Amino acid sequence: MNTKDLTRRNFIGKTAAGLVGVAVSSSVSSMSAASYKRIIGANDRINIGLLGCGARSHGHQNMVKMSEKDKNLGVVAVCDIWKLNREKTAANCKNMFGADVRQFKYSEEMLKMPDLDAVMIATGDFQHAKLLAEVVKAGKDCYVEKPLAESVEEAKQAREAVLASGQVVQQGSEWLSDPIQHKVRDIIRSGKLGQITKIEQVWNDNNHRWHDPKDPDVASIREEDTDWNRWLLGKPYEPFDPWKYFEFRIFREYSGGITSQWMSHGIGLVHFYTDTAIPDSMVANGGIFGWPDIRQNPDTFQALATYNDAKFMYSYTSNYASKFGDYTCIRGKDGTLFAHGGEGSPRWFLIPEHLELPGGFDFYEGLKEAVKSGKAEMITIEEYGMKLPPVNGSDDSKFHMDNWVDCMRSRNPNTNGHIHTGFWHSIGSIMATQAYREGKKLYWDRTKEEIVDHPVII
């Protein structure tokens, strides 16, 4: 079965059962006896291991805690190559969950635990794909942070490993499980907006993002307390650098920065809203303008992508030297969906085109009046008390955690962040990173699954 060009709707609707069959049948022939996982009963506790014990791992612990009782979860192991990180996380887990956890320096040792059901990965961006493949090959389900991968080849390898394993995978793109984002997608699918021609995301900050000149971890770590070669995980060798070890997001070799971290969320939502998968073309520009420190990745960035079959353009912008004016805007000929706020904002409004509200940000006062009079619609749901939702959401999403757990129990690979969503957001982010660095307009060849520098003729 060729899954390269499946849209999200086709994947979930028409071919899900077929893909499940492919994954299960291939895993039976390829997995060794040692890699079979125990079968989770409907009422059994799901035992989770934490792989990577840095800042994002704290969020994973919070997610497990939020679902611990009603979903019957537990943390049984932590793994990190830096001794201090794993000891701190083990102590925190004991405090949160009331039990000791096993500590491991290396993931392959943790994965030998017969009672380990699932792993949550919170490591460096460039490590995600390889570790995900390792986890599913060991017969464990996996929650892996975004981006899925930093290279096309590793994205393909991770996808292949997951589909061959029969394991249940959830990408850490938590907004895909927010019920208000599902309502937004339902509105788009209903046709209320008419033809959509442009989607804009402007998500900002005013902070030396991902770089702390007084980073306490940088001051604490010693090379002998970790394994630098293991951390590199196949990257070209260079001498130990604690700044790169902890602040990998600002260095070119290990991350795209804005593209890997924020745009991966953004483009993943675009695919979710519009039932599309991977842009056809991409251009990008930006630079290091606000924070000329040790960073190599831009602090100011913009990308423009096109989706030819769906006939719309996607604009993504981030500026880390001004927070003003965060929004998402989905523009249709008959109406507009507008979210007031940045990444994952649940504060959405549906604005019919005929209202002709004033342009610019002064439209907001007119919008409030239009909502009061019933001419425009505030999008809300019971989970938000049918009231005006907040501007920001939390990365620590119980909705997303519960979706993964429910799919683990039913052995349903179609999580809200299944492996194809990860492949799609990674390719889009990689295209944007590469377009920025090379100063070229780039294209996606859907037949060869390659990024090329010329239009693709089908």
Residue 4 domain-assigned (yes or no):
no
Same domain for 266 and 350, yes or no, is yes
Q: Report pLDDT for 2.
A: 41
Distance separating alpha carbons of residues 173 and 171, to the nearest angstrom: 5
Q: Report pLDDT for 37.
A: 57
Same domain for 97 and 204, yes or no, is no
Q: Report pLDDT for 452.
A: 98
- Kindly give, in sequence order, each residue whose CB lies less than 8 Å from that of residue 258, ignoring residues fewer than 6 positions away: 286, 297, 298, 299, 301, 318, 320
Question: What angle is formed at CA 56 by the lines to CA 55 and CA 61, rounded to 5 degrees?
Answer: 105
Residue 27 domain-assigned (yes or no):
no
Strand order in the sheet with 312-319: 377-379, 348-352, 335-340, 327-332, 196-202, 312-319, 300-307, 281-287, 442-445, 450-452
Q: What phi and psi values does residue 25 have, to the nearest 5 degrees? A: -65, -40
The secondary structure element, H or E, covering residue 314 is: strand 312-319
The CATH number of residue 257's host domain is 3.30.360.10
Answer whether residue 28 shows pLDDT above 80. Answer: no
Q: What is the DSSP string of 174-213?
A: GGGG-HHHHHHHHHHHHTTT-SEEEEEEE---BS-TT--T
Percent above pLDDT 70 for the chain: 90
Residue 84 token pair: 């201090």
Strand partners, 337: 330, 350
Residue 26 domain-assigned (yes or no):
no
Residue 342 domain-assigned (yes or no):
yes
Closest by CA to 279, choosing from 288, 271, 269, is 271
Least confident of 46-60, 381-395, 422-436: 381-395
Distance separating alpha carbons of residues 445 and 199, to the nearest angstrom: 22
Strand partners, 331: 198, 336
Answer whether residue 32 shows pLDDT above 80. Answer: no
Q: Report pLDDT for 370.
A: 87
Least confident of 271-275, 325-329, 391-395, 443-447: 391-395
What is the average pLDDT across 409-417? 97
Counted domains in the chain: 2
Same domain for 408 and 371, yes or no, is no
Q: 445 falls in which pLDDT band (50, 70, 90)?
A: very high
What is the average pLDDT across 218-247? 97
Same domain for 286 and 296, yes or no, is yes
Distance separating alpha carbons of residues 5 and 276, to the nearest angstrom: 9
Q: Report pLDDT for 16.
A: 32
Q: 38 falls in which pLDDT band (50, 70, 90)?
A: low
Answer whether residue 29 shows pLDDT above 80. Answer: no
Same domain for 124 and 204, yes or no, is no
Asked whether 248 and 218 are in contact (CB, 8 A), the reply is no
Residue 262 domain-assigned (yes or no):
yes
Reported pTM: 0.91
Across the chain, mean pLDDT equals 91
Same domain for 370 and 334, yes or no, is yes
Same domain for 151 and 70, yes or no, is yes
What is the average pLDDT across 16-24? 33
Torsion of CA 275, 278, 282, 286, to 10 degrees: 90
* SS3 state of residue 87: helix
| pLDDT tens per residue, range 374-389 | 889 999 999 999 999 9
On the question of a cis peptide bond just before residue 114, with omega within 30 degrees of 0, the verdict is no
Distance separating alpha carbons of residues 131 and 107, to the nearest angstrom: 8
Radius of gyration of the chain (CA): 22
Q: 8 falls in which pLDDT band (50, 70, 90)?
A: very low
Length of the chain, please? 458
* SS3 state of residue 214: coil
Cβ atoms within 10 Å of 238's Cβ, excluding its own: 10
Asked whether 177 and 397 are in contact (CB, 8 A), the reply is yes
Output 39 or 315, whichever has higher pLDDT: 315
| pLDDT tens per residue, range 50-94 | 999 999 999 999 999 999 999 999 999 999 999 999 999 999 999
Distance separating alpha carbons of residues 57 and 86, to the nearest angstrom: 10
Asked whether 259 and 303 are in contact (CB, 8 A), the reply is yes
Q: Report pLDDT for 299.
A: 98
Q: What is the DSSP string of 364-388?
A: HHHHHHHHHHTSSEEE--GGGTTSP
Distance separating alpha carbons of residues 131 and 143, to the nearest angstrom: 11
Containing domain of residue 203, as a range? 178-212+249-393+430-438
Same domain for 369 and 388, yes or no, is yes
Answer whether residue 4 shows pLDDT above 60. Answer: no
The CATH number of residue 85's host domain is 3.40.50.720
Q: Report pLDDT for 89.
A: 98
Residue 106 domain-assigned (yes or no):
yes
Q: Report pLDDT for 359.
A: 66
What is the average pLDDT across 407-433? 98
Same domain for 255 and 378, yes or no, is yes
Same domain for 60 and 161, yes or no, is yes
Asked whether 258 and 297 are in contact (CB, 8 A), the reply is yes
Residue 314 domain-assigned (yes or no):
yes
Distance separating alpha carbons of residues 355 and 377, to the nearest angstrom: 12
| pLDDT tens per residue, range 172-185 | 999 999 999 999 99
Residue 406 domain-assigned (yes or no):
yes
Percent above pLDDT 90 for the chain: 84
Instruction: Tell me the HSE value of 116 on the side-chain side, using a 13 A CA sphere.
Output: 30
Same domain for 112 and 195, yes or no, is no
Same domain for 191 and 313, yes or no, is yes
Answer whether residue 221 shows pLDDT above 70. Answer: yes
| pLDDT tens per residue, range 275-321 | 999 999 999 999 999 999 999 999 999 999 999 999 999 999 999 99
